[in-house]
Amino acid sequence: MLSFLKKMIPRSIKKKIKETNYFQHQAVSNLAATSKRIDICSAQMAHIFHLSKHAPIEGKVCLEIGAGWVLTHALVCYLLGAKKVIATDVVPIAQPDTLLLALRDAIASIPRDILAPFSDHARVRERYNNLLSYSEFSFDTLKELGIEYQSPVDLATEKINTPVDFIYSNSVLEHVPVNDVPDLLNNLVNSLNVGGTMIHCVHLEDHQDIVGDPFNFLDIHENQFTPTLQSNRGNRIRCNQWRKLFDDLKGTNTDFIYCYSRLEKPLPEVIDSSISYVDEDDLRVSHIGVYTRKED
Ligand SMILES: C[S@@+](CC[C@H](N)C(=O)[O-])C[C@H]1O[C@@H](n2cnc3c(N)ncnc32)[C@H](O)[C@@H]1O
Three-state secondary structure along 181-221? HHHHHHHHHHHEEEEEEEEEEEECCCCCCCCCCCCHHHHCC
Q: Which atom of ligand 1 is nearest to the CA of 207?
A: 1
pTM (whole model) above 0.85: yes
Distance 53 CA to ligand 1 centre (A): 25
- One pLDDT digit (tens) per residue for the chain, 296 residues: 556 666 777 776 766 656 678 788 999 999 999 999 999 999 999 999 999 999 999 999 999 999 999 999 999 999 999 999 999 999 999 999 999 999 999 999 999 999 999 999 999 999 999 999 999 999 999 999 999 999 999 999 998 989 999 999 999 999 999 999 999 999 999 999 999 999 999 999 999 999 999 999 999 999 999 999 999 999 999 999 999 999 999 999 999 999 999 999 999 999 999 999 999 999 999 999 999 999 98
Distance 173 CA to ligand 1 centre (A): 8
Distance 255 CA to ligand 1 centre (A): 22
Report the nearest-CA residue for atom 11 of ligand 1.
66
139-152 CB burial, b ≥16 within 10 A, e <16: eebbeebbbebbee
